[in-house]
Amino acid sequence: MASTSPRNILLLNGPNLNLLGTREPEIYGAATLDDVLVLARDTAAKHQLQLQDLQSNHEGVLIDAIHAAAGTAAGIIINPGAFTHTSVAIADALAGVALPTIEVHISNVHKRESFRHHSYVSPVASAIIIGAGINGYRLAVEQLAEILQQG
Ligand code: DQA
């Protein structure tokens, strides 16, 4: 029987994204993490999705949240911050729970230092949105909604 209750999706933001708004505004813009959350939540609501979110500067906390999502969320949107370029463990966690996952980067990492060009997360992501500013989070919610609708 089809469920009428809204489905949950999980938005994870990794290290230093709590500093959005003041952190290197020439790269990341002036919007704050709260602005991101309002945008993502409003977009989710338009698709009858309920967005839960977590920002953490700690790799293990993000991994625990990914594991917990297996029982509580239909999909994950993640901006892993610098862990993108270092964390096999986050990639393994995402592969382990096998939920549809959208990877987001505010900046165009490919225009930046070469160490930002490799992502451990991309091979386990359903889609990757890079360089669209915070609008990337809106696009990520739209894409996840599309994936979930297709079932
Ligand atoms: C980022 C890009 C990463 O290289 C960086 O370490 C971040 C933010 C982005 O959103 O553009 O913290 O993920």
pLDDT digits (tens, 9 = 90+) for 19-70: 999 999 999 999 999 999 999 999 999 999 999 999 999 999 999 999 999 9
The topology (CATH level 3) of 8-150 is: Rossmann fold (3.40.50)
Using only C-alpha atoms, the chain has a radius of gyration, in whole angstroms, of 14
| Cβ(84) – ligand 1 distance below 6 Å | yes
pLDDT for residue 96 is more than 50: yes
Q: Is 1 exposed, middle or buried (0-12, 13-18, 19+ CB in 10 A)?
A: exposed
Query: What is the number of the ligand 1 atom nearest to the C-alpha of 28?
Result: 11
In this structure, are residues 107 and 131 in contact, taking their beta carbons and an 8 Å threshold?
yes
- Confidence band of 5 (pLDDT split at 50, 70, 90): low
Q: Is 49 exposed, middle or buried (0-12, 13-18, 19+ CB in 10 A)?
A: buried
pLDDT at 1: 45
| Cβ(81) – ligand 1 distance below 6 Å | yes
pLDDT at 151: 80
Name the nearest CA neighbour of 135 among 16, 22, 28, 26. 28
User: What gap in Å lies between CA 42 and CA 40, rounded to an integer?
Assistant: 6
- What percentage of the chain exceeds 90 in pLDDT? 95
Task: Calculate mean pLDDT across residues 95-112.
Answer: 98
User: What gap in Å lies between CA 53 and CA 124, rounded to an integer?
Assistant: 20
Q: Which of 78, 106, 110, 135 to mutate to test the pocket of ligand 1 (most atoms within 8 A of CB)?
A: 106
Domain ranges of the chain: 8-150
pLDDT for residue 4 is more than 80: no
